[in-house]
Structure 1
Amino acid sequence: MSRISKKPIQIPNNVDFSISNSEVIVKGPLGSLHQRLSADHITIANENNELFVKSTNSTKQSHSLSGTMRSLINNMIIGVTSGFVKRLNIVGVGYRAQASGDTLNLSLGFSHPIAYKMPNGITVETPTQTEVVIKGINKQQVGQIAAEIRAFRPPEPYKGKGVRYADEVITLKETKKK
């Protein structure tokens, strides 16, 4: 059995948790999230504000799904209570970002500016011209948006110019010598 699924999930007091029609719904102060549940492989038990995710049979797929569903439900609870944040740094002369409403305008050295429209539930801030802060309640969506913005101009290995995660370490290559 998955070791991850053996750990119980603590449900805070300000979070409502419900299971209906093979779907898990989590509502909290920041919003609500839902996730489809594979009812033929796992069961969820709620005991004293703790959730236990268990596999229904002893197949490899059931064991792996129980650990995956436990992680997804835990991320949903964290998302509706505190949310998720990804920070990006922009390095390079003339490279900058500006948030206006739900659009992120990027100037990354191309002949045209890039206007990236944020989906519903995701907010973007630019504290400075070279910092981008992406916030939301869905961990997968926040990470996907950050990866798409980084993909416009990934950091290059010689000078380190481009868009990178705030905690990313770029090892620079040495230039070719004669």
Structure 2
Amino acid sequence: MLGNLTFILNISSFDDFKIVKSFSDTIILIKKNSKQFFFKLPKNLFIYKKDDSFVLEVKSVEHLPMLTTVKNNLNLLLASKLNLKKKLNLVGLGFKVIRSNFYLKFKLGYSHIIRVEIPKEIIRFSGNKKRVRMESADKIKLGNFLQKIFHLRSYDCYKGKGFSFFNKIKKLKQFKKK
């Protein structure tokens, strides 16, 4: 078998790792940091145990992109903290963040209230009127959503108003002197 048709999966970083095989599907159960994930393997991908690790394998070269996709997803799961947390601060008189069921409403000094839908990938939302804190397992979608919120009222470097990321150092510029 060619070396690029296999992928060796080291399971030492997981708390628990199980393979459940049914008549038509193979499902991998992964437990890490007290969270459980289900990963369904495609039909042309085979998994078996070799020593203290598992080997993912495809039989033909035409199914190699499938192996690469599964390998990348499992590597992301291995490398991630599973719950990424990000915070935004809102500074300004009269600016507010209000949470309804599936939406965030913003009072940002415009003549209308801005309503943004919270994506399904956001696991946890917390905060008060001036601070937004979100957690998600998907790093990219969390970052894109917070950038969308940030651009509603981005940070004004002269007055200090608007959204700013929590750990960024904010330095105000001086006005022109007469």
TM-score by length of 2: 0.63
CA 1:48–1:110: 2 relative to 1, 3 Å: farther
CA deviation after TM superposition for structure 1 residue 175, in Å = 0.5
1:72 is matched with 76
1:70-149 matched pairs, under 5 angstroms: 72-76=76-80, 78-79=81-82, 83-123=83-123, 125-149=125-149
1:164 is matched with 164
CA distance in 1 between counterparts of 2:52 and 2:164 reads 39
CA 1:85–1:124: 2 relative to 1, 3 Å: same
Query: Does 2:20 match 1:12?
Result: no
- Spell out, residue by residue over 1:41-92, the C-alpha distance to the aligned partner (whole angstroms, 9 max, x if none): xxxxx8887799xxxxxxxxxxxxxxx878634345x21xxx1211111000
CA 1:113–1:11: 2 relative to 1, 3 Å: same
1:39 is matched with none
1:37 is matched with none
1:59 is matched with none
Query: Does 2:154 match 1:154?
Result: yes
RMSD of Structure 2 on Structure 1 (CA): 4.1
CA 1:127–1:119: 2 relative to 1, 3 Å: closer
Report percent identity of matched pairs. Answer: 25
CA 1:32–1:177: 2 relative to 1, 3 Å: same
Unaligned segments of structure 1, at least 5 residues: 1-7, 19-24, 35-45, 53-67
Is the CA contact 1:95–1:109 (under 8 Å) kept in the aligned structure 2? Answer: yes
Query: Does 2:175 match 1:175?
Result: yes
CA 1:47–1:109: 2 relative to 1, 3 Å: farther
Unaligned segments of structure 2, at least 5 residues: 1-9, 21-27, 40-48, 56-71
Is the CA contact 2:14–2:30 (under 8 Å) kept in the aligned structure 1? Answer: no
* Greater RCO, 1 or 2 (C-alpha within 8 Å, sep 6+): 1
CA distance in 2 between counterparts of 1:145 and 1:49 reads 40
CA distance in 2 between counterparts of 1:122 and 1:155 reads 23
Alignment coverage as a number of residue pairs: 154
CA distance in 2 between counterparts of 1:145 and 1:100 reads 17
CA deviation after TM superposition for structure 1 residue 11, in Å = 2.1
TM-score by length of 1: 0.63
Letter in 2 for 1:72: L
